[in-house]
């Protein structure tokens, strides 16, 4: 089975901590994405990457950064976690012209 | 910003009934995708429609892409409890890149 694997299903972090969310895909997809999903707001794109070491801002990049050093891995970094970053974080990958494959999500709570 | 509005936002029906979910935009999309998301999981791709007017069937689910490529519908026949979930439409803008715009979602509950 092809997969997008997110490192944690649940995380609880303190305000001000630096948080790393890891995502790995085994499908050799060139495109990878980070979304957050909040009730009433739907899926909002944070960052995406078309290739190794390439990244582009999505709709809500403030407070986040990303790293893609290898094709299969796309990391989302919360530089200094805040309570308004409590959310469900979804990673996805795709081959150009095809639909997305999503991970199971990481539910992050910042206290 | 290209928006995809879905209706209804919430739908709760009895097992065995039929239903239709709509996905509408004022913008043209090169294709539209439908996803289903179950609680605590990521969305799963159901289908991609590419040609204006295209109809695709997936067992009891029928997907249609509007002739003008601005809207799509999902019809479920004889709904079953396993159809329960959040249904999302999504599409790349016409001439756009791989970045998808996602719809607002329809939360469907099928009552046994």
- Binding-face residues of B in 45-104 toward A, CB within 8 A: 45, 48, 88, 90, 97-100, 102-104
Q: What's residue B93's pLDDT?
A: 72
Q: Which DSSP helix (H) or strand (E) runs through A101?
A: strand A101-102
For residue A39, pLDDT beyond 60 = yes
> Cβ of A105 and B42 within 8 Å?
yes
Judge whether B93 and B29 are in contact, CB under 8 Å.
yes
Q: Which of A110, A104, A111, A78 is nearest to A5 (CA)?
A: A104
Note the pLDDT tens digit of each residue in B50-107. 999 999 999 999 999 999 999 999 999 999 999 999 999 999 876 666 788 899 899 9
Pairing between strand A87-94 and A101-102? Answer: antiparallel
Smallest Cβ distance to B104: which of A42, A94, A101?
A42
Q: Does B41 touch chain A (CB under 8 A)?
A: yes
Judge whether A5 and A92 are in contact, CB under 8 Å.
no
> Cβ of A48 and B44 within 8 Å?
no
- Please tell me the distance from the alpha carbon of residue B10 to that of residue A35, in angstroms, as a whole number: 22
Q: How far is A58 from chain B (nearest CA, A)?
A: 9
Q: What's residue A107's pLDDT?
A: 96
For residue B1, pLDDT beyond 60 = no
- First-last CA distance in chain A: 36
Give the CATH number for residue B43. Answer: 2.60.40.10
Judge whether A48 and A56 are in contact, CB under 8 Å.
yes
Q: How far is A107 from chain B (nearest CA, A)?
A: 9
B30 — pLDDT class (breaks 50, 70, 90): confident
Judge whether B89 and B99 are in contact, CB under 8 Å.
no
Go through the domains of chain A in sequence order and give each one's CATH number. Answer: 4-110 (2.60.40.10)
Per the structure, the complete domain to which residue B42 belongs is given by: 5-111
- Please tell me the distance from the alpha carbon of residue B34 to that of residue B106, in angstroms, as a whole number: 11
Domain count, chain B: 1
């Amino acid at each position: 089975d092809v997969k997008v694997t997110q490192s944690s299903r649940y995380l609880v972090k303190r305000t001000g901590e630096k948080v790393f969310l890891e995502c790995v895909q085994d499908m050799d997809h060139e495109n990878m994405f980070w979304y957050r999903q909040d009730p009433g707001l739907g899926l909002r794109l944070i960052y995406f990457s078309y290739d190794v070491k390439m990244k582009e801002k999505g709709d809500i990049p403030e407070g986040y950064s990303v790293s893609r050093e290898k094709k299969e891995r796309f990391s989302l970094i919360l530089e200094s976690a805040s309570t308004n970053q409590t959310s469900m974080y979804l990673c996805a990958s795709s081959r150009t012209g095809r639909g997305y494959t999503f991970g199971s999500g990481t539910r992050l709570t910042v206290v | 910003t290209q928006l995809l509005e879905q209706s209804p936002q919430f739908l709760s029906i009895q097992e065995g009934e039929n239903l239709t979910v709509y996905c509408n935009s004022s913008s043209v999309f090169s294709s539209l995708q439908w996803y289903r998301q179950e609680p605590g999981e990521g969305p799963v791709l159901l289908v991609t429609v590419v040609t204006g007017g295209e109809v695709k069937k997936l067992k009891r689910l029928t997907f249609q892409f509007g002739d003008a490529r601005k809207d799509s519908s999902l019809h479920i026949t004889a709904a079953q409890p396993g159809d329960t979930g959040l249904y999302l439409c999504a599409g790349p803008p016409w001439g756009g890149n791989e970045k998808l715009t996602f719809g607002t979602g329809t939360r469907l509950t099928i009552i046994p």
